[in-house]
Chains A and B, each alone.
Chain A
Amino acid sequence: NAGVMQNPRHLVRRRGQEARLRCSPMKGHSHVYWYRQLPEEGLKFMVYLQKENIIDESGMPKERFSAEFPKEGPSILRIQQVVRGDSAAYFCASSPEAEQFFGPGTRLTVL
């Protein structure tokens, strides 16, 4: 059973471009979480999704950020018009019912 997959592992964007981060949960997992980690900080919760539903987006910035988890395919975290402050490691986690299992992360660098 493959673990949580995230791609790309590294993403470089210029200010104003769009960033799309993908997360494929572990097989059989229907819960997906996105977290962001800034340098020297812990992970900060962004959004919790189940298939086709956003359950909790209390950690998501109100503008430029969106997330989806369609019926088919990976979960997508989308950041529009990126700014330098968006540079961070973005981690996705999935769970069946209990503990969350994390992917390797996508490191976003905004030039």
Chain B
Amino acid sequence: DQQVKQNSPSLSVQEGRISILNCDYTNSMFDYFLWYKKYPAEGPTFLISISSIKDKNEDGRFTVFLNKSAKHLSLHIVPSQPGDSAVYFCAASAGGSQGNLIFGKGTKLSVKP
């Protein structure tokens, strides 16, 4: 029973264009959502988060959108850079910012020069 789903295992975009990574969830008790970026042989690096009371959060080139009615969130990266190439994990918590995280399986983003 996968509560957090990232249906695209991979995504390829051109440098300078927008990258859109999608995530769906099934548990309506989730109230806090995060995106992490992971390089091989390293731990996940926190990118951006959003509370369920908001529908958008922006930090530099990264914006997360939350659609609670659709149980869907997305991460927009613009403009995309080759250094953004990594695996991106969506995660959700039902305990606010301190709860344990439920992760999706990840989407591998490749940004081509």
Closest CB of chain A to B10's CB: distance in Å? 12
Mark A32-69 against chain B: 1 for CB-CB distance below 8 A, else 0. Answer: 01010000111111001000000010110000000000
Contact of A40 among B44, B49, B101, B105 (CB under 8 A): B105
Q: How far, in angstroms, from A101 to B101 measured CA to CA in the complex? A: 12
Closest to A46 in B: B100
Q: Which of A12-20, A77-85, A90-98 participates in binding chain B?
A: A90-98
Contact of B98 among A31, A40, A91, A102 (CB under 8 A): A31
A interface residues, how many (CB within 8 angstroms): 28
Q: Is A26 in the interface zone, CB < 8 Å from B?
A: no
Whether B100 lies near A45 (C-beta < 8 A) is yes
Q: How far, in angstroms, from A6 to B44 measured CA to CA in the complex? A: 13
Q: How far, in angstroms, from A19 to B36 measured CA to CA in the complex? A: 28
Closest CB of chain A to B57's CB: distance in Å? 12
Q: Is B30 in the interface zone, CB < 8 Å from A?
A: no
Q: Is A74 in the interface zone, CB < 8 Å from B?
A: no
Closest to A45 in B: B100
Can you spell out 8 A-B residue pairs with CB atoms less than 8 angstroms apart? A43-B44, A43-B91, A48-B100, A95-B97, A99-B34, A102-B46, A104-B41, A104-B42
